[in-house]
Structure 1
Amino acid sequence: MTSFALPHPTSMGAESVAAIAVSGLSVSYNEVTALTDVDLIVARARICGLIGVNGSGKSTLFKCLMGLVQPQAGTVAIFGTDHRTARRSNLVAYVPQSEDVDWTFPLSVGDVVLMGRYGRMPQSRRASRADRDAVDEALERVGLSQQRHRQIGELSGGQKKRAFVARSIAQDAQLLLLDEPFAGVDKTSEATLIGLLQELRDEGRTALISTHDLAGIPELCDEAVLLHNRVLAHGLPEAVLTHDKLALAFGPTPGAAPANVPLRRTADEK
């Protein structure tokens, strides 16, 4: 097979090419169905919130986009190409849940961010000046320049998330997949992450964010997807975050909002 370099999305001259295009996606683990006939289009330069209870298929969708899970049916395209080409071209980056990371591994914050440059390095993994400059810039953008030599596990929850976002920035990824980035994060780090993600969106990058923080979605996201093994709703946050739609995924009584799911932050929470 002849290899080729995928053009950077900003040089494709095709603004209509979706960042994410999923069609008829179905995934099962043994006899357990994770996703059923999922269709999802997310345009470039958008922040899309992915909402659903635990077990609704959010993490499975991320794994399909990264090519870590093979679906039983359906297709996945990232910027008009398959996940393998997208990953080889450094177009997509993943910010995992905290429990998926071994925080005792002896890597510094700078080492973690430098991993975002591996796809651009020669086989020797010797960092060039461009690689070091990209790491410096990424650390500066997330406010972790002073923490670069600390072991990654020594950081606070919010700082850890920012370090992985910095890795995505150093990689120059155009699609960021963030799995519960605000879980265990203090309000200061949350505000920093929100501002940073919106800056990246304004630069033309796309983010798909799995979150349980429904109250924060209107502030952060351009659109939202309600997932319960299939797409129940997709559109503007105010169109998705209605009592009736949320009850389909969260509440036992149609037409009633889940009692434990706030739709708006109170003044004390802001």
Structure 2
Amino acid sequence: MTTHPPQVPPRDPAARDAHPSGPPVLDVRHLGVRYDDVRALDDVTVSLRAGSICGLIGVNGSGKSTLFKALMGLVVPQEGRVELFGDTTASARRAGLVAYMPQAEEVDWTFPVSVSDVVAMGVYGRLGAARRLRPADRAAVADSLDRVGLADLARRQIGQLSGGQRKRVFIARSIAQDARLLLLDEPFAGVDRSSERTMTALLTALRDEGRSVLVSTHDLAGVPAFCDEAVLLHRRVLAQGDPAAVLTQGNLARAFGAAPPDAVPAVPTAARIGDS
């Protein structure tokens, strides 16, 4: 019997200080990334504390995907530094502390692996040279799939799933891995509202367990209810902090040239903007 993820209500802003501040799990200082003569990121400084969800917001070409790749060590910055859990990206990855969901177009969905195989990749770092799953590892994979409501699709080829189901597989992989920091690049792109609500509930529950999430999103209206803080990026960090303070008309105008009226968080309909 499949257990579907609960619909967790938005967290009360008054509860945002429930987790101790402590050192940041993600600490980026004066980061600069160039592709030949194109500067993708310029003097970016941003941090994220434990047990919080941070929404990363910006227009097409603002550098959101480049920032995720720099955090994962997939691009080499020309300036600045990145620390995850007080150490290097490579160290955090070896320890299984960080999990990454790239944009959908960067994944080969035709690769002949099952849903269960993809989730099992989250436990590979704990295996020996033989890469043989132990009973505890198989249980972790099964429990993770059950938690995201995909236990009945464990044997299905990953490309046969819907967009929302594919994204939930990546969340399940991070749960099996027991990652403490999730980096999610446009997880809600191309999914319906029902799947978006399901993933939002999952991420909220993970946050309440003390994990941290950096998520790029187009849903400006949903950020204040879903995220503890927001970062507005346009090659530089234009603002970071409480979503209501970040997503002002003035800040949005700086980021987008002109802030569309329905992009203001007080408006109930969600406004979506271009991919990065």
State the TM-score, normalized to the length of structure 2.
0.88
State the Cα deviation string for residues 175-203 of structure 1 (Å, max 9, x = none): 00000000011111111111110110111
1:34 aligns with 2:40: yes
Which residue of the other structure, out of 157, 160, 164, is the alignment partner of 1:154? 160
Aligned residues: 250
Unaligned 5+ segments in structure 2 are 1-19, 271-276
- Aligned residue for 1:200? 206
- The letter for the 2-side match of 1:102 is D
SS at match of 1:18: coil
- Aligned residue for 1:189? 195
Q: Is the 8 A contact 1:50 1:224 kept in 2?
A: yes
Identical aligned pairs, as a percentage?
Answer: 62
- Aligned residue for 1:11? none
1:266 aligns with 2:272: no
Equivalent runs, 1:198-237 vs 2, <5 Å:
198-237=204-243
Report which stretch shifted further, 15-24 or 82-91.
15-24
Q: CA deviation at 1:219?
A: 1.8
SS at match of 1:59: helix
SS at match of 2:71: helix
SS at match of 2:179: coil
Q: Is the 8 A contact 1:251 1:258 kept in 2?
A: no
* Moved beyond 2 Å, runs of 4+: 257-267
- Aligned residue for 2:86? 80
Alpha-carbon distance in 2 for matches of 1:15, 1:84: 24
Higher RCO, 1 vs 2 (CA within 8 Å, ≥6 residues apart): 2
Q: CA deviation at 1:262?
A: 5.6
Which residue of the other structure, out of 60, 65, 89, is the alignment partner of 1:59? 65
Alpha-carbon distance in 1 for matches of 2:167, 2:268: 22
1:169 aligns with 2:175: yes
Unaligned 5+ segments in structure 1 are 1-13
Q: CA deviation at 1:15?
A: 5.9
State the Cα deviation string for residues 33-85 of structure 1 (Å, max 9, x = none): 00111111111111000000111111111011101111101010001010000
Q: Is the 8 A contact 2:248 2:264 kept in 1?
A: no
Q: What is the root-mean-square deviation in Å for CA atoms of aligned residues? A: 1.4
Alpha-carbon distance in 2 for matches of 1:174, 1:96: 17
- The letter for the 2-side match of 1:223 is E
Q: CA deviation at 1:261?
A: 3.5
Judging changes above 3 Å, is the alpha-carbon distance between structure 1 residues 169 and 163 closer, same or farther for their aligned structure 2 residues? same
1:125 aligns with 2:125: no
- Aligned residue for 2:257? 251
State the TM-score, normalized to the length of structure 1.
0.90
- The letter for the 2-side match of 1:115 is M
Report which stretch shifted further, 15-24 or 77-86.
15-24
SS at match of 1:204: coil
- The letter for the 2-side match of 1:42 is L
Alpha-carbon distance in 2 for matches of 1:101, 1:63: 14
- The letter for the 1-side match of 2:174 is S
1:114 aligns with 2:116: no
State the Cα deviation string for residues 76-107 of structure 1 (Å, max 9, x = none): 00010100000000000001111111111111
Q: CA deviation at 1:218?
A: 1.2
Q: CA deviation at 1:216?
A: 1.4
Q: Is the 8 A contact 1:152 1:160 kept in 2?
A: yes
Q: Is the 8 A contact 2:221 2:269 kept in 1?
A: no
